[in-house]
Structure 1
Amino acid sequence: MADADEVVGEFERYLRFERDLSPHTVRAYLSDVRALLDHLGGRIDGLEISALREWLAEQHAEGKSRATLARRTACARTFTAFCHRQGRLPDDPGLLLGSAKAPRSLPAVLDQEQARTALDGSSTGEPKELRDQAILELLYATGVRVSELCALDVDDVDRDRHVIRVLGKGRKERTVPLGTPALRALDTWCVHGRPLWIKPGSGAALFLGVRGGRIDPGTVRRVVHGCLRDVEGAPDLGPHGLRHTAATHLLEGGADLRSVQELLGHASLNTTQIYTHVSIERLRTAYRQAHPRA
């Protein structure tokens, strides 16, 4: 079992420093690998295609979701490939393992009137309201991930070019445009709100918490949920829901899929294509409601 512990440690370093995966993904993969090795009694040389299939079949019999099975299949393939490259396996049994696919449900999104209502709320000028308004405008204008928004620094906003510099997954940098309303909200927060919350440890963080530190994803989620609660008929969405909404509205407005892919920072166009299905579903719904012979 000591050998297995050593391999798991090496695999963790590989995921963190070579693959540069998120801490959440690393934790999930390590949990899956440990479960797989427990199934094999801690024997690395037991990593054969029959054992992998047996392990996944047990997961299925236990009622694991398709999403969980898809992740564990991907993890098993990554782990066996790693072990093979390290010389711990003579060949890679994961190559013979089919790719389980998670179901892709259509994300809930705001319609354009609901988005307008959410963003056009009045403000008393309090720092928290100025910050929250800027957060909402930026999420909807750019479709950035909540982690990307929290990582923004003041200098990442290029006011002359109307763009922000975003550090995305895999530490890949991209430039994302934003409109005048979002830039105006950011300027208002930076001039009239942020200076009142700055503390010695604030650094260059664009968005701050009430104690002056860099804002965290949990706070941003509470901001979005709280705002949308007041919008009649709106689904209960978080920051990722605004990301979905931004992508859907771009496609509905005529943006091409490749541009949306680049804006969102998707590595694969297949990930972006789900938003075309969202737009088509909304078109079908409108057709059924409006056409006399639908």
Structure 2
Amino acid sequence: MTSAAPPALLPASVDATLALLTANGYLAERALATVTFLALRMGRPLFLEGEAGVGKTEIAKVLAAALGRRLIRLQCYEGLDIASAVYEWNTAAQMIAIRLAEAAGDTDRDRLAADIFAERYLIKRPLLQALEPEVSGAPVLLIDELDRADEAFEAYLLEVLSDFQVTIPEFGTIAAPHPPIVIVTSNRTREIHDALKRRCLYHWVDYPSAERELAIVKSKVPGISAALSAQVVAFVQALRAQDFYKSPGVAETLDWATALTELDARSLTPQLVGDTLGALLKYQDDIARMQGDTMQKLVKEATAQ
């Protein structure tokens, strides 16, 4: 039986970080590579803000794959609590243990209490899992869309991100022997408190330039022609200048490029764009705003590239 491959070493420079991300399919700007390098070297969480679909979540996935680390993802949502994010006790198993002890005549309450709050009854959720040692090295912990969680949960994260430990009243304090690599993302539907931001390095992930977005499309959508990829990027870049409720992110650009490739498209036409606009825009009001002269104009400009 062969042993698992050892985890990759952390990159030694910004250039090495940029090369690592690029080699694993993430075409990052240098500023993002710099803050990622610093977060890795300093052992600080990396807080990424930006519009949905610009690649914030993807960087955690790429880092985990590139460094050979386990990826642990905590998807935030309204009402997220400690039982879902950190831990809970297996109460069903605890009740069975109590009934078995009673049936066996065991009346030592202190010993029974110590037994039912042993680690084997502890159900570990993502935050607690991220504090456990891993053979492949400290895991990558992705706390995704923190802005969707309640402020009370955000406050709870302060202990985890400050000391990389969790206190369980019945069990004790569990501390990470090696801090995980932490990526926190936010779509900025609400402001995150300064107390949490101070514990992180920060970067705003913006929409990519046309040049970088074109490189991303060519990398992620094999088989797309040079002419069509250029038209797709030109159209999307122009689309983001419009007054929409939700402008398309890079994820939508890739979806649209893939859809056009599946349709064997060679060039954009108003009919083709109208038929596939749902891959780019996700709100009916935005789609309706694109009908008529606006679409004709943007298609004409994109195909003139």
What range describes the TM-score normalised by the shorter chain of this pair?
under 0.3
TM-score by length of 1: 0.25
Say which structure, 1 or 2, has more relative contact order (CA 8 Å, 6+ apart): 2
More strand by share: 2
